[in-house]
Amino acid sequence: MKLTKEHQEEIENQQSQNNNTKRVISPELEKILFEAIPALDHGFVRVIDYMGDDTSIVQAARVSYGKGTKQVSTDSGLIKYLMRHWHSTPFEMCEIKYHIKLPIFIARQWIRHRTANVNEYSARYSILDKEFYLPTSENLATQSTSNRQGRGSVLEGKQAEDVLKLLKNDAERTYANYETMLNERYDGSIIDENKKGLARELARMNLTLNTYTQWYWKTDLLNLMNFLRLRADHHAQYEIRVYADIMLDTLKKWVPITFDAFMDYRVGGTEISSKGKLILQKLIKGEAISIEKSGLSKREWNELMEAFELKDKIV
């Protein structure tokens, strides 16, 4: 990850601040505030600002004065109750803002989560960085035969080399054409004094989707957890999962009690249908069960067996 001089100066200025506040703060999150945490080859995640902590959730749930209760165990019990019973509004009282640098194709997937305030770097106004995402060899894989939006076996040898070469050459060629159309290079120099450059809003359309963009992304705690539950999951695309894992760590630093409840009830827990519940009840009673008589589809059945590690226990 390479930071521009402007980014480095901004981070140094922000981290040198020494502000007093009467608001609640999260000491562990304060330690990494404004820091650029590397993601992929040229990306990063930065926590820019936040509002509230675990006690803010408790306070909102009780509509009380001050910082909630003084016993952490009591606050923990209430937050677990809220998480367990899907009470959402108290978690909406906390907010966080990130500065994120990411490949365009991941940004287009990310923006499907329409629960945040987003302000993206404008390629109509400025020239995009000359940086492209190139996967490492272990992340080059074939199309999955069982999942239309997943990966299969890893590419090896010359085939992997050829793919990486194509990705790199295409990105570099289209960026060179981008500079030519603009009549301006990435460093700001003019290519030909006698030519006019194409409008930036038009020249950008030629760039590859692995070009990096940046945005500020602000959301509340509830919607952050909804995002992380999907994107930090092992089924999620590797590239977006890298960012989600970093943000999961910032969640732990920000609201540690909520993080524990989230990992327990959302990430580590599972949901079952009424039919699935009946199957488990029969299993506990020692009754015989089968997919034919379960009332579940094959996919539902497999998901239930996998969730409770029952595949090898049913004949």
0.75 cut: is pTM over it? yes
Are 217 and 302 within one domain? no
Are 25 and 62 within one domain? yes
Number of domains in the chain: 3
Are 60 and 89 within one domain? yes
Are 226 and 253 within one domain? yes
Are 67 and 116 within one domain? yes
Are 119 and 61 within one domain? yes
Active site residue 231: yes
Are 77 and 14 within one domain? yes
DSSP string, 90-129: GGGG-EEEEEEEEEHHHHHHHTT--SSEEEE--TTTSPPP
Instruction: Name the residue type at position 67.
Output: K
Are 177 and 219 within one domain? no
Query: Which member of 46, 200, 204, 231 is catalytic?
Result: 231
Boundaries of domain holding 189: 137-206
Are 89 and 11 within one domain? yes
Domain-ending residue, one of 234, 252, 267: 267
10-residue mean pLDDT series, the chain (315 residues): 80 85 93 96 97 95 67 85 94 98 97 95 93 93 80 87 95 97 92 94 96 97 98 94 98 98 94 92 89 90 90 63
Query: The CATH number of the domain where 236 resides is what?
Result: 3.30.1360.170
pLDDT score, position 18 = 84
